[in-house]
Structure 1
Amino acid sequence: MPRVIRARYENGVLKPLEPLEMKEGEEVVIVLKAGEGSLAQKFYGIVRKHRPKLTRSEFLEVIEEIENEDIRGF
């Protein structure tokens, strides 16, 4: 079942910010999502030029739906 886990990149390694409850050696698929300076944030500015009434939260909901579709495809 897909879960969202926050992690920090340190010394070349992604370190989860919470326990994972996984078996040793278990493999996962990682989908990276950038922070505030992300491409999605920049794209929101472009979209707002064409849809000025679109709120940031509405935009991010659509992006999240798209990302979740991609995750389910794995």
Structure 2
Amino acid sequence: MSSRVKVVRARYEKGVLRPLEPLELSEGEEVLVRIERLKEKEKIVEEFYGKRGPAPKELLDEFMLEAEAQ
């Protein structure tokens, strides 16, 4: 994986975080993990949805994830 930051969703199951998409990591590679509850982010998206004109919710979700990666 390049040095670029990537934000991925994960699910916590039986004591383990499982990413919901493939990760380009080497076996044994260490990474930093920041835990943010998705429900908190969804509240923010709902609050701002449509404030600057119509936009699909999926697009707002994508922008939110990209902004967090910066």
Specify the TM-score bucket, using the shorter chain as the normaliser: 0.5 to 0.7
Aligned length: 66
Query: Partner residue of 1:59?
Result: 60
RMSD: 3.2
| Structure richer in helix, relative to its length | 1
% identity of equivalent residues: 29
TM-score (norm 1): 0.51
Distance in 2, Cα, partners of 1:48 & 1:16:
27
Q: Indicate the SS of the match to 1:50.
A: coil
Distance in 2 (CA, whole Å) between partners of 1:16 and 1:61 is: 17
Q: What TM-score, normalized to structure 2?
A: 0.53
Q: Does 1:9 align with 2:15?
A: no
Largest Rg, 1 or 2: 1
Q: Which has the higher contact order (CA 8 A, sep 6+)?
A: 2
Correspondence 1:45 to 2:52: no
Q: Which runs of 5+ in 2 are unaligned?
A: none
Q: Which runs of 5+ in 1 are unaligned?
A: 70-74
